Amino acid sequence: MYPAAFEYLRPRSIREAVELLLRHGEDAKLLAGGQSLVPMMKLRVARPKYLIDIHRIAGLNYVREEHGAICIGATTRHVQIEQSPLIRDKMSMLAQAAGEIGDAQVRNRGTIGGGLAEADPVGDYGPVALALDARMKCVRPSGVREIPASDFFTFAYTTALEPDEILMEIIFPLPPRGSAGVYHKLEKVAGDFAIAAAAVQLAVGRDGVCTSIAIGVSGGGPMPQKPAAVENLLRGKKIDRELTEEAGRLIQDDAEPIEDLRGSAAYKRKALSAVLRRALTESLRLTTNNL
Amino acid sequence: MDFPINPPIGERVRRKETQRFVTGTGRFVDDLLPPGTLHASFTRSPCAHARINSVDASAALTMPGVRAVFTGKDIADRIKPMRVGGSPLLRPLKLYPLAVDKIRYFGEPVAVVVADNRYLAEDAVEAIAIDYEPLPAVIDPEAALEPGATPVHDVLGGNKVYKFHFATDGIDEIFAKADVVVKERIRSHRITACPIEPRAYLAHYSPDEDSLTMWSATANPHSLRGRIADVINFPEGKIRVIAPDVGGSFGVKIQTYQEELLLPFISRELGRPIKWCETRVEHMRNGRHGRDQIHYIEMALKKDGTILGLRDRIIADMGSTYTVDHSIMASALYMTGVYQIQNYAVDATGVSTNKTTHGSLRGIGKADAAYVIERLVDIAARKLNIDPIDIRMKNFIPAESFPYRNVTGALYDSGQYHLCLKRTAEIAGYEKLKQEQAELRKKGICRGIGVALVMEPTSSSRIHATGGYASCRMRIDPSGAATVFSSMGEQGQGHETTIAQIVASQTGIPFEKITVIHGDTLPTPYGFGTGSSRSSVVLMPSAWVAAKKMREKLVGIGARLIGVPPERLEIGDGKVFAKEKRDQAIAIAEIIRTAYGAIHLLPENMEPGLETMGTFVNPNIDYAPDDKGRMNTFSSYPYAGVIAVVDVDVETGFINIVRYCTVHDCGNMINPQIVDTQQQGSIMQGIGAALYEELRYDEEGRLLSSTFMDYRLPCVEEVPELALEHIVTPNPFTPLGAKGAGETGMLGPPPALCNAVEDALAPLGVKIRETPLTPDRILDLIEKAKSSHG
Ligand SMILES: Cc1cc2nc3c(=O)[nH]c(=O)nc-3n(C[C@H](O)[C@H](O)[C@H](O)COP(=O)(O)OP(=O)(O)OC[C@H]3O[C@@H](n4cnc5c(N)ncnc54)[C@H](O)[C@@H]3O)c2cc1C
């Protein structure tokens, strides 16, 4: 638990951070809450020569509503997201997901930007970002761009971010009025990463027919997924037990989970099916209550 | 029997230790840093089994801040090999603190770097070039016994390192004639204790004084002192071992470790203090592991559930550099548990494999036995269609048979098993639970009820291993405060509190004015380590003996001063007074002043001053087996009834503990608050073992669960609704009537939860034979059962 030597840099602005990143290239790593990076450094799996600490940059920590979306600064802590009245009110599944991350110590320090950039295959933000079509606003020397969530995750622990790019803000478009969102996570013990998780945002009409559906899942492969086939299956149909079962079968058949100490691939397939069905059932109950 | 249970003995006195721990002012080894300290770091083997062709430290030696590097070859001819202790049945081995020519487990230390700080030491560790020639890893203990298996230790030829056999006459006929025989293979899986503080050592050799001070997070300071003296060939009298605050042991810190013997050697070589604090990853790979036994067990019964006999074959995975045999011995000797079983046979084999050293862990061996027998009784009950409580009641040793000589020679001190389980069923609402279960089943909810009654042999004494006594020396200072020097240290047991309670009760010195010194070999009397729940059985009585002598002295002086015979005097309210005439009294303060300053007033032949020594010998122990191989190596037998209620989620395989009810009996309780917290923590540790924790090795022998991300411990959110009660059956062999109280809790969850889960899934015909009960394992069993039922 003793990291290799590194130099600690503390830029005061995004601009300065971008410059430092450009200067030190592959030798540098951004440090946000340190909840993924520092353990990796202590195990000497990560060995950056330079640590660029962005979590003190002013103006990167905020939650606000703008143009029909909730915009969150990259260094906003998990606990702030969990407790934000705005998010709890308008995007409860995101608050729920943040509240399921690790333990209180991790949530007090870890950031949403770090969580997304880390791209753990079963991190808790991935499914929500995918379900809600979030956009990642990033900056690099050549300028600013937005990466849609569906392009952001490219493999386990790998994203579309360029080495000299910094994630600045995450933009979550507000879900349709009357829809209800549920994040359902299956974890071995409290504080663990998910075995599998499902984020479901659902709206139904008075006839029980699905008017809008957005799903994101994790545990079915090396990165979180947006299962379009399942969304298509449900959209425009009455969501009943049978259809839910079919959705479960579909996600299960398409999944290619990674086997690890949290479970065999065969088990994770079933676990994924179960969390999806449960999230669907629960969001159906909530959205029906909203009617 | 009459027990001197006067207040504050028996009261829920708040622990003296709590304040400093909850305010972060405790002092642990890692808080110490004498000037000039150098830091050690170890190169550890990345493979489980390999020959070491060469170790090249030349690059490391040129790195900044590096002061020295030692390899196995460097030390092998300069220090003596470590002792393999505890039993003549273990095949002897020569073990050195660093691997000399062969690696025997993943993470074994190969070389040590000493540098100005730990970071530089770690950097240099990476620069040591080692040429390994990999050998096939021996991981499966059954395969390890097969002819042609690669030997872990070349000198031994094979991997069988321990053999024990015991059988009563006519056992085969009993099985041949029985109505029913249940036969199972049951395995207890490998776990470790995970104290919050991993191991930590600081060795300080002073060239000026030619003496060595060793600060160690040890549970066994006096033994460690002797081992250091032996291995580095240094006078024991010049060594002082100090265990400052120690953050938990649960057994893993009672044995001596290679690093613990190496640091004093290095400190002596370099003439500087040397410090090493283990990381969690190192601890998972090198700290002692426990359990890991396979039992091929059979039980012969009558149709009505009467148990006729038991036959077991044990294969115990001892890991590579095994050091003790307590685990396998305890399993073999106590397999018959709480039942009247006088026909028994066991064949126990200890196997060496390329895994981490097996050793002490809360409930060592006894947990395996309790698990296996409590599972088997349940399996038999199901087969015979008898209620799991009824079958136990039918076979329990009755209260009036105590002290009870079990089949292997153990003499159980006391117990009321029938009453205990009856009370457990009452607090659990057993009959109502069964009705609820039937209703829930109709709704598709798989609820299970698991019963167990676990017994924990405590306070062991093995020749040259765990000793058979403990001591306390005490002094009342002229100011009226008392200091007690305890032979046993503490790692969370609360000795500072319980010893003070005993002394206060006997001497009338106020509890607040009593300080307990422990864990330091210089001021404390010699004694063996804190383990096997021995403290309440031998240490507390030794405090009682010392305090009783002190009481006699105080009363004797008082008698002389006020002219009343001692037998008519009593101590209370800071005075010694006549029982019948309370105003005939003298202040204890006056007695103390007299003892030190006015010695011409002391009774004839009484020594001046107020110092006493109390020693208590572990009662009820046979050190050597009798002609039939029977022996009694433990002296007290606490137990607990358990009823666990679970719901199993058949879609995810998750287990929810709805309620955990337990009735515990450890005899008289010196401090019921401490007993409760020991039970609670112990039960959670058992729940962890049953549901979450497992040390898993891959085929090459690499430990996969080396961090808390991969070795999941239950945390506060996993604590179930817990109903905990006590009944009190005093231990007749000790003056305080207390039995061990640290471990029984941990024994309950594995059998009770397995029984509950099997009960929950009984309609599907699921059988649980492997643990932990992880969701994937459970779901797999459910699906297999479903498909085999068509
Ligand atoms: C005990 C424990 C349990 C945990 N459990 C969970 C869990 O259940 N679910 C879960 O989702 N996570 C869990 N985590 C991870 C946690 O959520 C981390 O906080 C998160 O993954 C990383 O965020 P951070 O701010 O700490 O980032 P850091 O650790 O500082 O950085 C992580 C990586 O992201 C990069 N990075 C950080 N910020 C940016 C940025 N703005 N732009 C570009 N790159 C950036 C860093 O360079 C680094 O490579 C757990 C962590 C721990 C220690």
Look at residue A268 and tell me if it is in a domain: yes
Residues A134 and A230 in one domain: no
**Pairing between strand A166-173 and A180-186?**
unpaired
CB B213 within 8 A of CB B715: no
The answer to whether the CB atoms of A189 and B714 lie below 8 A apart is yes
Query: Which residue out of A37, A41, A57, A62 has the highest number of ligand 1 atoms within 8 Å of its CB and is therefore the one to mutate?
Result: A37
The pLDDT tens digits for B693-719 are: 999 999 999 999 999 999 999 999 999
Report the pLDDT value the prediction gives residue B86, as an integer from 0 to 100: 58
Please list, in sequence order, all residues whose beta carbon lies within 8 angstroms of the beta carbon of residue B257, skipping any fewer than 6 positions away.
B199, B286
Please list, in sequence order, all residues whose beta carbon lies within 8 angstroms of the beta carbon of residue A109, skipping any fewer than 6 positions away.
A33, A34, A35, A77
Report the pLDDT value the prediction gives residue B5, as an integer from 0 to 100: 67
- Closest Cα to atom 38 of ligand 1: A114
Three-state secondary structure of A234-272? HCCCECCHHHHHHHHHHHHHHCCCCCECCECHHHHHHHH
What is the edge-to-edge ordering of all strands in the sheet holding A180-186?
A180-186, A196-204, A210-218
Report the pLDDT value the prediction gives residue B72, as an integer from 0 to 100: 96
Q: How far is the CA of A121 from the centre of ligand 1 (A)?
A: 12
CATH number for the domain spanning A26: value is 3.30.43.10
Q: How far is the CA of B41 from the centre of ligand 1 (A)?
A: 29
Confidence of residue B483 (pLDDT cuts 50, 70, 90): very high
Q: Which of B280, B710, B715 sits opposite A189 (nearest CB)?
A: B715
If you classify domain B18-25+469-617 with CATH, what class do you get? alpha beta
The ipTM of this complex is 0.95
> Which residues on A lie below 8 Å from B718 (Cβ)?
189-190
Summarize the confidence of residues B295-320 as an average pLDDT. Answer: 97
CB B616 within 8 A of CB B470: yes
Q: In this structure, which amino acid lies at residue B66?
A: V
Q: Which of A4, A267, A274 sits opposite B123 (nearest CB)?
A: A4
The answer to whether the CB atoms of A103 and B118 lie below 8 A apart is no
Per the structure, the count of domains in chain A is: 3
Instruction: Give Cα separations from A25 to A3, A167, B125, B588 (angstroms).
Output: 20, 16, 28, 78
Give B316's strand partners. Answer: B293, B350
Look at residue A58 and tell me if it is in a domain: no
The answer to whether the CB atoms of A191 and B715 lie below 8 A apart is yes
Confidence of residue B788 (pLDDT cuts 50, 70, 90): confident
With a cut of 80, say whether residue B84 has pLDDT above it. no
Nearest-CA distance A62 → chain B (Å): 30
Report the pLDDT value the prediction gives residue A184, as an integer from 0 to 100: 98
CB B389 within 8 A of CB B356: no
CB B533 within 8 A of CB B740: yes
Distance CA B489, CA B237 (A): 19
Summarize the confidence of residues B26-43 as an average pLDDT. Answer: 98
Q: How far is the CA of B279 from the centre of ligand 1 (A)?
A: 22
Q: How far is the CA of A137 from the centre of ligand 1 (A)?
A: 18
Nearest-CA distance A117 → chain B (Å): 20
The answer to whether the CB atoms of A261 and B692 lie below 8 A apart is no
With a cut of 90, say whether residue B91 has pLDDT above it. no
Residue with tokens 């790979």: B285
> Which residues on B lie below 8 Å from A47 (Cβ)?
none
The atom number, within ligand 1, closest to the CA of A31 reads 30
CB A101 within 8 A of CB A124: yes
The answer to whether the CB atoms of A189 and B775 lie below 8 A apart is no
Look at residue A43 and tell me if it is in a domain: yes
| Interchain contact B706–A (C-beta under 8 A) | no
> Which residues on A lie below 8 Å from B41 (Cβ)?
2
Distance CA A211, CA A203 (A): 6
Number of Cβ within 10 Å of residue B533's Cβ equals 28
CB B136 within 8 A of CB B144: no
CB B408 within 8 A of CB B630: yes
Report the pLDDT value the prediction gives residue A265, as an integer from 0 to 100: 96
The pLDDT tens digits for A91-124 are: 999 999 999 999 999 999 999 999 999 999 999 9
User: Could you give the percent of chain B with pLDDT greater than 70?
Assistant: 99
User: Could you give the percent of chain A with pLDDT greater than 70?
Assistant: 100
Report the pLDDT value the prediction gives residue B463, as an integer from 0 to 100: 77
Give which of A32, A75, A78, A77 is closest to A51, Cα–Cα. Answer: A32
Confidence of residue B92 (pLDDT cuts 50, 70, 90): confident
Question: Which residue range forms the structural domain that includes residue A23?
Answer: 7-53
Report the pLDDT value the prediction gives residue A213, as an integer from 0 to 100: 98
CB B476 within 8 A of CB B725: no
The pLDDT tens digits for B485-518 are: 999 999 999 999 999 999 999 999 999 999 999 9
Q: In this structure, which amino acid lies at residue A6?
A: F
Give which of B139, B136, B122 is closest to B281, Cα–Cα. Answer: B122
Distance CA B746, CA B757 (A): 18
Summarize the confidence of residues B540-555 as an average pLDDT. Answer: 97
DSSP letter (8 states) at residue B715: -
- Residue extent(s) of CATH 3.30.365.10 domains in chain B: 18-25+469-617, 137-189+288-397, 201-277, 414-459+634-790
Instruction: From A173, A205, A239, give the residue that closes a domain.
Output: A173
Residue with tokens 């808790």: A124
Three-state secondary structure of B364-396? CCHHHHHHHHHHHHHHHHHHHCCCHHHHHHHHE
Radius of gyration of chain B (CA): 28
Q: What stretch of H or E contains B50?
A: strand B50-56
> Which residues on A lie below 8 Å from B654 (Cβ)?
186
Look at residue A208 and tell me if it is in a domain: yes
Instruction: From A53, A71, A89, give the residue that closes a domain.
Output: A53
Residues A67 and A47 in one domain: no
Look at residue A161 and tell me if it is in a domain: yes
With a cut of 90, say whether residue B600 has pLDDT above it. yes
With a cut of 60, say whether residue B2 has pLDDT above it. no
Number of Cβ within 10 Å of residue B326's Cβ equals 26
Give me the CATH code for the B37-135 domain, please.
3.90.1170.50
With a cut of 60, say whether residue B310 has pLDDT above it. yes
With a cut of 80, say whether residue B352 has pLDDT above it. yes
Distance CA B138, CA B140 (A): 6
Q: Mean pLDDT score of chain B, rounded to an integer?
A: 95
The pLDDT tens digits for B566-584 are: 999 999 999 999 999 999 9
Q: How far is the CA of A83 from the centre of ligand 1 (A)?
A: 18
Distance CA B734, CA B294 (A): 35
The pLDDT tens digits for A211-227 are: 999 999 999 999 999 99
Residues A209 and A267 in one domain: yes
Give which of B298, B497, B465, B334 is closest to B408, Cα–Cα. Answer: B334
The pLDDT tens digits for A28-84 are: 999 999 999 999 999 999 999 999 999 989 899 999 999 999 999 999 999 999 999
Q: What stretch of H or E contains A201?
A: strand A196-204
CATH number for the domain spanning A209: value is 3.30.390.50
Look at residue A73 and tell me if it is in a domain: yes
Give me the CATH code for the B414-459+634-790 domain, please.
3.30.365.10
| Interchain contact A232–B (C-beta under 8 A) | no
Instruction: From A150, A173, A196, give the residue that closes a domain.
Output: A173
The atom number, within ligand 1, closest to the CA of A39 reads 53
Number of Cβ within 10 Å of residue B438's Cβ equals 10
Residues A265 and A186 in one domain: yes
Q: At what angle do helices B388-395 and B366-384 cross, to 10 degrees?
A: 120
The pLDDT tens digits for A158-196 are: 999 999 999 999 999 999 999 999 999 999 999 999 999
Q: In this structure, which amino acid lies at residue A45?
A: V
Report the pLDDT value the prediction gives residue B1, as an integer from 0 to 100: 42
Q: How many residues does chain B have?
A: 790
Chains A, B: CB contacts within 8 A come to 63
| Interchain contact A270–B (C-beta under 8 A) | yes
The answer to whether the CB atoms of B715 and A190 lie below 8 A apart is yes
Report the pLDDT value the prediction gives residue B763, as an integer from 0 to 100: 95
Multiple choice CATH, B137-189+288-397, 3.30.565.10, 3.30.70.20, 3.30.365.10, 3.30.2130.30? 3.30.365.10
| Residue B635 CA to its chain's centroid (Å) | 15
The answer to whether the CB atoms of B775 and A267 lie below 8 A apart is yes
CB A197 within 8 A of CB A183: yes
Give which of A43, A28, A26, A2 is closest to B123, Cα–Cα. Answer: A2
Confidence of residue A199 (pLDDT cuts 50, 70, 90): very high
Q: What stretch of H or E contains B750?
A: helix B749-760
The pLDDT tens digits for B208-246 are: 999 999 999 999 999 999 999 999 999 999 999 999 999
Report the pLDDT value the prediction gives residue B318, as an integer from 0 to 100: 93
Q: How far is the CA of A112 from the centre of ligand 1 (A)?
A: 8
Please, how many CA atoms are within 13 Å of residue B225, restricted to the half-sphere of its CB? 24
Q: How far is the CA of A272 from the centre of ligand 1 (A)?
A: 23
Instruction: Give Cα separations from B526 to B116, B192, B221, B254, B522 (angstroms).
Output: 35, 29, 9, 15, 9
Question: Which region holds residue B749: left if phi is over 0, alpha if psi is between -120 and 50, else beta?
Answer: alpha
CB B646 within 8 A of CB B760: yes
The atom number, within ligand 1, closest to the CA of A40 reads 29
Nearest-CA distance A267 → chain B (Å): 6
Residues A109 and A194 in one domain: no
What is the edge-to-edge ordering of all strands in the sheet holding B585-587?
B569-572, B575-578, B585-587
Q: What stretch of H or E contains B451?
A: strand B446-455
User: CB under 6 Å to ligand 1: residues?
Assistant: A 29-37, 39, 54, 74, 101-102, 106, 110-111, 113-115, 117-118, 120, 123-124, 161, 166-167, 193
Nearest-CA distance A215 → chain B (Å): 20
Give B516's strand partners. Answer: B484
Distance CA B668, CA B728 (A): 6
Number of Cβ within 10 Å of residue A286's Cβ equals 16
Three-state secondary structure of B306-336? CEEEEEEEEEEECCCCCCCCHHHHHHHHHCC
Q: How far is the CA of A32 from the centre of ligand 1 (A)?
A: 8
Nearest-CA distance A139 → chain B (Å): 33
Q: Mean pLDDT score of chain A, rounded to an integer?
A: 96
If you classify domain B201-277 with CATH, what class do you get? alpha beta
Look at residue A2 and tell me if it is in a domain: no
Q: In this structure, which amino acid lies at residue B759?
A: D
> Which residues on A lie below 8 Å from B776 (Cβ)?
263-264, 267
| Interchain contact B280–A (C-beta under 8 A) | yes
Distance CA B489, CA B246 (A): 9
The answer to whether the CB atoms of B712 and A192 lie below 8 A apart is yes
Look at residue A155 and tell me if it is in a domain: yes
| Interchain contact A274–B (C-beta under 8 A) | yes
Distance CA B598, CA A274 (A): 83
| Interchain contact B784–A (C-beta under 8 A) | no
Residues A68 and A168 in one domain: yes
Q: How far is the CA of A23 from the centre of ligand 1 (A)?
A: 24
What is the edge-to-edge ordering of all strands in the sheet holding B482-486?
B514-517, B482-486, B469-476, B611-617
With a cut of 90, say whether residue B93 has pLDDT above it. no
Sign (positive or negative) of CA dihedral B331, B332, B333, B335: positive
Q: Which of A44, A191, A263 sits opposite B775 (nearest CB)?
A: A263
The answer to whether the CB atoms of B780 and A267 lie below 8 A apart is yes
Q: CA torsion angle for B665, B668, B674, B678 (degrees, to 10)? A: -30
- Closest Cα to atom 19 of ligand 1: A110
| Interchain contact B281–A (C-beta under 8 A) | yes
